[in-house]
A = this chain, B = another copy of it.
Amino acid sequence: MNNQQWTVAARPRGAPVREDFALREQPLARPGEGQMLIQVLYLSVAPVMAMYMSGESIAQRPPLAIGDMLHGRGVGRVLISRHPDYEPGDVVHGQMGWQKYCVTTAPPEDRFYKFQADDLPPHLALGALGMTGFSAYCGFVTVGEPSPGRPVLVSGAAGGVGHLVVQIARILGCEPVVGIAGGPEKCALLAELGCHTSIDYRQGHLAARMREHCPDGFDLYFDNVGGQVLEAALENLAFGARIVLCGSISEYNQAQVSGPANYTRLRRHDASMRGFYVYNHEAGFAAAEATMADWIRRGELRPVQHIVDGFDKLPQALMGLFTGDNTGKQIVRVHDEGEV
């Protein structure tokens, strides 16, 4: 049986373009001892993938060389298992790469998680009920320590992590929940998701508009973008405010990142800027998944999954993240759930 993979054809200069990707077809290996063969159902598309393409290494994943298959998280069905913890038919999520079938490496190189909420669609394992959701939940709740009744600001608020954070903030009673996104469509989505206010960053004057919506400053800012939005937020902090650093998409494709010029604003208000790496919070994943699955079943949390159909659409789906096309979590369907 043959497998298809997307590889790095060239290093992106700035945002990736179609020519930076190449499709490769090759025979599928058979799983050895401790390995599994997984049929990939859905693949996640995230901005960080472009950084790997550029040859950078972040978190624990190695940088990519020209010709390497792209990194990517997926959810799939186990077809063959020679691993003691998994059986054929299990739905698992983890690092699968941009390919139609995945033969896992022997442990412990890559971690896979069983999808628990089998009454809910498996693609949620790439959104609210997987690493994206765990980033939102652990980052906002555990690292950010939100308080009911206190104002929260979220950037990239219509994105994969952000659209979950604004809803978690609303469910936990933070007020107002102010979301930042680009363009009227995304701002309309934020209103539907329960944001009390939204700010369209394309209209400029960010710091002034934050002040307008929250004159006494924000208690918690969840940062998905870095750059000028982070600087504007630093001008609008309340006493003891926390800034949670989750992502910084505005900086991913820049040759030279300068860092927030006004970072010393943290001093005035005894505020802090807190980074987190989601795998440091692995002990909390099961609770996060259970809590969010419950919110989804009760209709309080609405995951927005933007599902593009077809393995061939992966490059476009990634490119779209840098032109601001996407709302919610960007996902590509590789195989239908019924198809083997």
- Residues of chain A touching chain B, judged by Cβ–Cβ distance below 8 Å, are 59, 143, 226, 239, 245-246, 248, 251, 256-277, 280
A–B pairs, 6, beta carbons within 8 Å: A143-B270, A251-B264, A259-B259, A266-B273, A266-B274, A268-B275
Q: Which residues of B contact A275 (CB under 8 A)?
A: 264-272
A305 to chain B, nearest CB (A): 25
User: In the complex, A260→B263 CA distance in Å?
Assistant: 8
How many monomers of this chain does the complex have? 2
Contact A273 B276 (CB under 8 A): no
User: Assuming the A-B contacts A260-B259, A261-B257, are A277 and B268 also in contact, with contact meaning beta carbons closer than 8 angstroms in the complex?
Assistant: yes
Contact B272 A263 (CB under 8 A): no
User: In the complex, A3→B318 CA distance in Å?
Assistant: 71
A119 to chain B, nearest CB (A): 33
Q: Which residues of B contact A273 (CB under 8 A)?
A: 263, 266, 272-274
A-B contact sample (8 more), CB < 8 A, given A239-B280, A257-B261: A245-B266, A258-B259, A258-B261, A259-B260, A263-B273, A265-B275, A268-B277, A270-B277
A254 to chain B, nearest CB (A): 10
Contact A274 B272 (CB under 8 A): yes
Chain B residue with minimal CB distance to A273? B273
Q: Which residues of B contact A262 (CB under 8 A)?
A: 257, 259
Contact A264 B59 (CB under 8 A): no
Q: Which residues of B contact A239 (CB under 8 A)?
A: 280
Contact B277 A269 (CB under 8 A): yes
A266 to chain B, nearest CB (A): 3
User: In the complex, A256→B277 CA distance in Å?
Assistant: 31
Contact A261 B259 (CB under 8 A): yes
A35 to chain B, nearest CB (A): 29
Chain B residue with minimal CB distance to A241? B275
Q: Which residues of B contact A272 (CB under 8 A)?
A: 272-275
A123 to chain B, nearest CB (A): 26
User: In the complex, A269→B280 CA distance in Å?
Assistant: 8
Chain B residue with minimal CB distance to A258? B258
Q: Which 3 A-B pairs have the closest CB atoms?
A: A266-B275, A259-B259, A267-B275
User: In the complex, A290→B239 CA distance in Å?
Assistant: 27
A297 to chain B, nearest CB (A): 31
User: In the complex, A31→B23 CA distance in Å?
Assistant: 85
User: In the complex, A5→B75 CA distance in Å?
Assistant: 73
A198 to chain B, nearest CB (A): 25
Q: Which residues of B contact A259 (CB under 8 A)?
A: 258-263
Contact A245 B260 (CB under 8 A): no
A247 to chain B, nearest CB (A): 9
Q: Which residues of B contact A266 (CB under 8 A)?
A: 245, 273-275
Q: Which residues of B contact A280 (CB under 8 A)?
A: 239, 270
A238 to chain B, nearest CB (A): 12
